[in-house]
Amino acid sequence: MQHIDGEIRRLVEDMFETMYAAEGIGLAAPQVGVSKRLFVMDIRDPEAEPRAVINPVIVERSGSERSDEGCLSVPGVYGVVERPTRIVMEGLDLDGKPIRIDASGLLARCIQHEMDHVDGTLYIDRLSPIKRKMLLSKFKKLQREAAGR
């Protein structure tokens, strides 16, 4: 993405609204059908302000830990994913200024999860085939129940 224009700003506003309405902590542009390298996040921590990140790149990774993840693209189910504990991400903010975030804990996990979306991957793709199958069948059951079938 070369140019941050009004269209991008409106998209970011819409994405924040969608994320908050769904009580999520992150949302990436591909999740709303827009193939741009962009995500928004708010982990509801006073130490980590809400942010939109454009053209994000992870430049450092260290450690490894397993923790539960869920996703607004596959609502109602959760799976344990192993990821680096700490990462450093670089990108641009909405004013086109470079940002660099050194993150661990939930923030690092959220950024990596959203980066996966930007790259066209879901967290369930990182599970073993059996776990993924179980999770998807539970997800489909929930969807059928929600539809009253």
Q: Residues interacting with Ni ion, by CB under 5 A?
A: 71
Toward Ni ion, which CB reaches closer, 71 or 103?
71
Write down the residue that tokens 């607004």 correspond to.
Answer: 72
3-state class (DSSP) for residue 128: coil
Strand partners, 92: 54, 98
To the nearest whole angstrom, how small is the minimum distance from the Cβ of residue 144 to Ni ion?
Answer: 22
> Is there a catalytic annotation at residue 114?
yes
Q: Which of residues 29 and 71 has its CB atom nearest to Ni ion in the complex?
A: 71
Q: Which is nearer to Ni ion, 4 or 56 (CB)?
A: 56
Catalytic residue, candidates 13, 49, 114, 145: 114
CB 100, min distance to Ni ion, A: 23
CA distance linking residue 144 with residue 46, whole number of Å: 38
Q: What's the closest the beta carbon of residue 68 comes to Ni ion, in angstroms?
A: 13
Where do the DSSP E strands lie in the chain? 26-28, 38-41, 51-62, 65-71, 74-83, 86-92, 98-104
CB-based contact 50:24 (threshold 8 Å)? no
Annotated active-site positions, please?
114
